[in-house]
Chain A
């Protein structure tokens, strides 16, 4: 135990004197500032509607919701004025109401960048105001996965699970690789292996150091963005497991390479792969299997559950199981490759 405490003491002294702690705190501070002050809590997706209502057409719409449509539109007195206003406002649509043989018709004017889905949704929306589509109480919405909706979470806070997961994973991956490669480069590990202490203990101390830094960073980010009312146990379990498997992965990579330069390419590739599921996080409809099998996918969703207390543990349990599996796999790979680090052949 004393040996391990000495190793931890050494790792803390080295990481503090090499400014690693400063880097961790600086990144946490930047993320807090970005989440609090740069990313908006919501993005206004609504477009302005510029309307020219033909009087003859309006007369035929007395029994419809047309008035509500007019209330949320800006009304102009000609089609030309509508177009002129649209040219000044890129986030707008134009609607020209027309009379066709005593019935109301319409012409939708778009900016040109809208895809078919948006145009079709706008047409359905307009038609509902014009009494062409009726909604009644028999219509029902069923949610398949409770808690996976981003709707009720402010946009900036939605970034928090992503930020703490990636910082924990990438910090584990990169910093621990640098720590081990420097030991090899300075040949201090060669001096260490001529002591009666096992190298596994040295790697363990590095791993625990990274774990504590991950906790520190995650706690700071969560407290200063989401607040204290989160499921801390689940959050710290996931952050801890992420830190451990990513550190083991970092150690495995560092074990295989002699210099930081040669290890950099595999580290960058692994980082990009780990970051790829971010796409699915923000666009849940796009979740192909090759993104879902990335450990970071379930971790982000698990952390979202833990941070925003949805009452569901489904994703947390999935992420925790996956992470435990990875901890076992990567610790085994670290132990198997550690002989390269010590120079034993």
Chain B
């Protein structure tokens, strides 16, 4: 559904690139995570894909059509959920969605159903200026579904949400994937990326460092470890042993043979640890 090849973009129109030689593809019905710290090039890439930034160099295909050839009809097939709460604050929740729905040339979803879906059913007729940050975020999220998009761009979809609401939003995203929606998600939240994404790309300084499924990235870059807890005179002690390093493997074998442990679990590296390992950068 999305094919990006050798994408470059410079705001200053020189060799100072915000996005440099970026290539990736997103398959139909896939959730693709674009992970990187602020200023890494996530928004620039997304803005090119949704037609907000003009394509300067490279090839971008969205919904099987080159982005240069797309007119306004592109926006009938995509939905965009912004991180900023960019709604009309003087309009109510339902008025915001109804207005947005009227801007499309395709059949749209029922605004009330969408607001109920994101838990705003009690604030349908309340002006958005009276919404909390989390409620505004959910309103923006609901608005992005109004045209039932086949390609859905999500920018930090759970930012500012409490765990229960975030879980509800994640469920909606998973449900959309099961219905065949292609999802491109930019985030710096490794947990949501790990929970939701089929594949992820790490981006720093405008360049992609790695693309794969979270599992493969962990297998490829993470150490295979076993976490062991032992009771000693000084109390409970926790130790990690690599099952690749021979010396540590022998130590672990001895503990098992001696039955000198309380608990033993295999452990994989977190995505955040892998991101740091691959890019040499933290996500903040």
Contacts and interface: CB of A to CB of B under 8 A. Distances in A.
Contacts of A18: 90
Contacts of A342: 52
Contacts of A343: 52
A6 to B, nearest CB: 4
Contact of B54 (A9, A193, A198, A344): A344
A344 B86 contact: no
A188 interface: yes
A13 B82 CA distance: 24
Contact of B86 (A6, A14, A188, A197): A188
Given A186-B86, A196-B73, A191 B143 contact: yes
Interface string B60-88: 00000000000011111010101010111
Given A3-B103, A13-B91, A195 B75 contact: yes
B80 A345 contact: no
A194 B53 contact: no
A6 B102 contact: yes
A196 B105 contact: yes
A338 to B, nearest CB: 14
Contacts, number: 70
B24 interface: no
A14 B90 contact: yes
B84 A187 contact: yes
Given A2-B102, A342-B52, A345-B53, A194 B91 contact: no
A192 B72 contact: no
Given A186-B89, A344-B54, A191 B80 contact: yes
Contact of B103 (A9, A13, A17, A195): A195
A10 B91 contact: yes
A188 B88 contact: yes
A190 interface: yes
Nearest to B47: A343
A196 B54 contact: no
A194 B104 CA distance: 10
A204 to B, nearest CB: 14
Interface in B79-125: 80, 82, 84, 86-91, 95, 99-100, 102-105
Nearest to B103: A195
A6 B98 CA distance: 9
B99 A187 contact: no
A11 to B, nearest CB: 10
B89 A196 contact: no
Interface string A183-215: 000111011111111100000000000000000
B263 to A, nearest CB: 50
A6 B80 contact: no
Nearest to B129: A17
A344 B72 contact: no
Given A3-B103, A197-B72, A345-B11, 16 more contacts: A9-B99, A13-B91, A14-B90, A18-B90, A186-B88, A187-B84, A188-B87, A191-B87, A191-B100, A194-B51, A195-B100, A195-B104, A196-B105, A197-B103, A344-B54, A345-B54
Interface of B: 11, 50-54, 72-76, 78, 80, 82, 84, 86-91, 95, 99-100, 102-105, 127, 140, 143
29 contacts: A3-B103, A6-B99, A6-B102, A9-B99, A13-B90, A14-B90, A17-B127, A186-B86, A186-B88, A186-B89, A188-B86, A188-B87, A188-B88, A190-B52, A190-B86, A191-B87, A191-B100, A194-B50, A194-B78, A195-B103, A195-B104, A196-B72, A196-B73, A196-B105, A343-B52, A344-B53, A344-B54, A345-B11, A345-B53
